[in-house]
Amino acid sequence: MKAGDALKIKGKISEYADGFSVNLGCKSSDLALHFNPRFNESVIVCNSRCSNAWQAEHRDKHLCFSKGSTVKIVIEMLSQKFLVKLPDGHEVEFPNRHCYDKISYMSVKGGFRVTSFKLD
């Protein structure tokens, strides 16, 4: 993934999920974007990780996800930031703190089962 690309992820949220995360970076210890909807806190947390150390959280109270639903998330990588388009049209912006020009690592964790993903 490089600047200008959009990652489209479709999947189903578990009925029993406390939350889930989509992680993009170079490896699990160096993440440019940790996108983490948390149902138990009614918030979306975005963060980055550098050499296994978490950085300052960005919290967005616009939690439009619901347990048991099927959703599509679009993550656009721009040169200075990530733009995450939520299923209801709301957008969450998060800075590209590491100034990565490409992403080679992706993971999805928690109560989310990926049914398809596409890189445009």
pLDDT digit string, tens, across residues 14-70? 999 999 999 999 999 999 999 999 999 999 999 999 999 999 999 999 999 999 999
With 0-12 / 13-18 / 19 or more C-beta atoms within 10 angstroms meaning exposed / middle / buried, residue 78 is middle
Maximum distance among all alpha carbons in the chain?
Answer: 36
According to the model, what pLDDT value does residue 110 have? 97
For residue 84, what are the β-bridge partners?
A: 75, 92
Q: Which residues, in sequence order, are CB contacts of 115 under 8 Å at separation 6+?
A: 10, 11, 12, 70
Cα 62–Cα 103–Cα 101 angle in degrees, nearest 5 = 100
Residue linked to tokens 């347990």? 67
Is there a contact between 78 and 65 (Cβ–Cβ < 8 Å)? no
| pLDDT confidence bin for 111, thresholds 50/70/90 | very high
Strand 70-77 relative to strand 105-110, pairing? unpaired
Average pLDDT over the chain reads: 97
According to the model, what pLDDT value does residue 98 have? 92
* Token pair belonging to 44: 């979306």
| pLDDT confidence bin for 83, thresholds 50/70/90 | very high
According to the model, what pLDDT value does residue 69 have? 97
